[in-house]
């Protein structure tokens, strides 16, 4: 019985190491792709995509790429990239990590950009995001107000 337990323990340890190495090489690959992309709107889009894609599987790296995208989008004055990134950071850092106040801050900035850029599809997502966060906070009336705003669009 002890041999079986030890064998299973070793098997799981080997699998864990293997999975960890796969994730590490994938992140290295992402970093190399980012390094080889010019610092323009395409790099912002790439970083934002990584933030979105990693959101549910690797939230720490999602936030890492999201913050890089946000910084670059502001530096090169790319408001659509900033809007997208703010929304993705709301999901990863605001909602998934439970930092609701930061999520609300991101959403307030995203709302201004969506209105400024006349992006109703993104404004709908912003209002939905407000609704989700207020719902998680237990402020149901406020959540409902934002869900209704989204429906009016």
Q: What is the pLDDT of residues 18-45, one digit of tens each?
A: 444 445 556 666 677 766 676 799 999 9
Residue 97 has pLDDT above 50, yes or no: yes
pTM of the model: 0.80
Structurally, at CATH architecture level, domain 37-152 sits in Alpha Horseshoe (1.25)
3-state SS, 55-85, equals: CCCCHHHHHHHHHHHHHHHHHCCCHHHHHHH
Average pLDDT over residues 131-151: 98
Q: What is the largest CA-CA distance in the chain?
A: 67
Count the neighbouring beta carbons within 10 Å of the beta carbon of residue 57: 9
Q: What is the pLDDT of residues 108-132, one digit of tens each?
A: 999 999 999 999 999 999 999 999 9
**pLDDT for position 93:** 96
């Amino acid at each position: 019985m002890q041999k079986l337990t030890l064998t299973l323990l070793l098997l799981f340890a080997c699998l864990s190491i293997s999975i960890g190495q796969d994730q590490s090489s994938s992140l290295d690959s992402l970093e190399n792709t980012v390094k080889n992309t010019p610092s323009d709107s395409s790099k912002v889009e790439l970083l934002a995509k990584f933030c979105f894609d990693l959101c549910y599987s690797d939230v720490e790296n999602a936030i890492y790429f999201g913050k890089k995208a946000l910084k670059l989008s502001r530096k090169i004055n790319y408001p659509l990239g900033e809007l997208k990134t703010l929304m993705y950071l709301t999901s990863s850092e605001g909602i998934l990590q439970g930092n609701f106040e930061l999520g609300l801050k991101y959403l307030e900035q995203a709302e201004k950009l969506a209105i400024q850029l006349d992006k109703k599809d993104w404004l709908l997502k912003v209002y939905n995001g407000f609704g989700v966060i207020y719902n998680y906070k237990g402020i149901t009336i406020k959540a409902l107000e934002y869900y209704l705003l989204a429906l009016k669009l």
